[in-house]
Amino acid sequence: MPDSLRTNRYESRCARCGHTVAAEAGVLLLSKWGYTVVYHPTHAPEADAQGGTSDASAMRVNQREEPCQVCDVVVPEGLGVLVRSRFDGWQVYHPEHLREPAPPRRGPHTGWHQRRLIALDIETTGNRYGVDRIVGAAVYAADGSARSWLIDPGPGPLMMAPYKKHGITVEHACAHGVPTAHALNEIAVVLARHLITKDPMVVWNAPFVLTTLEAELLRHGLIALSDRVPEGLSPICDPLVLDRHADPFRSGGRALEAVTEWYGIPHCHPGHAAFDAEASLALARVIGSCFPPVGRLSRQALHREQVCWHARYAQDAEARRPTENRDMT
């Protein structure tokens, strides 16, 4: 046995085979999940320089039902993994959600994320303001109620951008969709009724979604959403802006699908408005819970801060662009 490895002082059970290991006859390793484990010398995984291991055999299962620290779904007894936290004692995870690094633990603090939120998402023919048309929309509320619209984009030479994932064709929307003006007015009424309560409206990538919606309302001679609410389009909660601000240096993509996966939020059909709206609302709540400085903001401060955070992000992104690309625009 290498001199750098410690032996067990007391009789214990081997983490690999489960059989008894006599005192001073086993190998004692530090699990990366925060506790020591004992092995028969022939069963011990290779240890790192600090005498630790991340081998799956070193996991400790939960002895009672507890909510998973990532997805908040209850983990049945014996089916989860226990991890020792530096500050909060033992925590339980689903095995598939156990990873390093991981999102911060969800906190019990109160805030806007626990209020009656509503989420909006739209499906469009492309990503150009004032040019592309809305062909679908969905609204999802915190109480589980939802509405969705398939929208006829109207006449004109329209083409669906190939990168759109929602699966709606222009032909299908024209044949089966609700007339544009009628659908847009219904959407605006639902959203204005919520915004008047001064509870946040969740919109992933809000600058694009809300600008497109306003442009379409005005194009059809309807009252803009911002003119239907005394205080305008506020408060808005954009989980994309929140995530960029709260965790700016995390590697990986920032698409809705990638961010929901990071926070352990189920998202079955990315690109579909109904599922995107539901996932966006859940994501806003989780981010508010994981980051107390964000979750404890007042609703008005949440809106104001996001305006500043998004402007700062846009400035930084522009500064990172190659000089020759900036000169060409």
The whole-number pLDDT of residue 323 equals 64
Please return the burial class of 73, using the count of CB atoms within 10 Å of its CB with bins 0-12, 13-18 and 19+.
Answer: exposed
Is 306 within 8 Å of 242 (Cβ atoms)?
A: yes
Question: Where is pLDDT greater, at 10 or 152?
Answer: 152
CA distance 11 to 7: 11
From the candidate CATH numbers 3.30.420.10, 1.10.10.10, 3.10.129.10, 3.90.79.10, the one assigned to the domain spanning 115-317: 3.30.420.10
Is 159 within 8 Å of 177 (Cβ atoms)?
A: no
Domain boundaries defined on the chain: 1-58, 61-102, 115-317
Return the SS3 of 182: helix
The whole-number pLDDT of residue 274 equals 95
For the chain, percent of residues with pLDDT exceeding 70? 89
pLDDT band at 16 (very low <50, low <70, confident <90, very high): confident
Asked if residue 101 has a cis previous peptide bond (ω within 30° of 0), the answer is yes
In this predicted model, what pLDDT tens digit does every residue of 269-327 receive, in sequence order? 888 999 999 999 999 999 999 999 999 999 999 999 999 999 999 998 888 877 655 44
C-alpha pair distances (Å), 158 with each of 37, 72, 161, 164, 269: 64, 43, 10, 14, 25
Closest residue by Cα to residue 299 from 110, 140, 107: 110
Tokens describing residue 13: 């059970």
pLDDT band at 163 (very low <50, low <70, confident <90, very high): confident
Q: Give the least confident one: 39-53, 106-120, 303-317.
A: 39-53
CA distance 100 to 58: 15
Q: Give the least confident one: 78-92, 110-124, 132-146, 272-286.
A: 78-92
